[in-house]
Amino acid sequence: MDSTHNSIFDRLRQGETIAANDPHRGQLVEASYATMKLVQQMNLSADPDEIKDFLGKITNSKIDESTALFPPLYINYGKNTKIGKNVFINFGCTFLDLGGIIIEDNVLLAPGVKLLSEGHPGDPRQRESLVPKPIRLKKNCWISANATILPGVTVGENSIVAAGAVVNKDVPDNTIVGGIPAKVIKKIE
């Protein structure tokens, strides 16, 4: 891939690993600090419309009136997060979205949920590189308190992730998973 014609943000969206010595890596830090300013303002608000307005600025998208967020929310970039209709994001969630996060309609996120769409290589010589892999939460799924969704995971439609679970593999539709690492507990009939 010719990285000279794509911004570092385009390259992340395309799934390219960003090396620690990438000449454009500083742009990621600058963008994160700009996002942090908006996040801090949003997290001080108790007005639902103002919160949605800030979230729209952070994600560079229109947030539907049916979606609700109880701050604080911690998000490092924001522009790679897409949020559907009738989504509820409870207190203290964390989104690392450089790899991309898609939250479809009617998704529930309990307090303390972590959506981590970026990671690092296992090889210690490459560890400071950034590896983006998108997360997708399909319609009607419920991510319970303090669950963590790791890079590259899709949580299926109508599925439930139990409290405290760490999800490192895709969750099929209509399934309950739990544990560390998360395993299928049962199918939803």
Cis peptide before 181 (omega within 30 of 0): yes
Cβ-proximal residues to 35 (8 Å cutoff; 6+ apart), any chain: 58, 75, 76, 77, 78
Sign for the CA dihedral angle at 125, 15, 135, 167 comes to negative
Asked if 120 is an active-site residue, the reply is yes
Measure the CA–CA gap between 69 and 11, rounded to whole angstroms. Answer: 29
Measure the CA–CA gap between 6 and 95, rounded to whole angstroms. Answer: 24
Residue of 120, 133, 139, 169 marked catalytic: 120
Active-site annotation, residues: 120
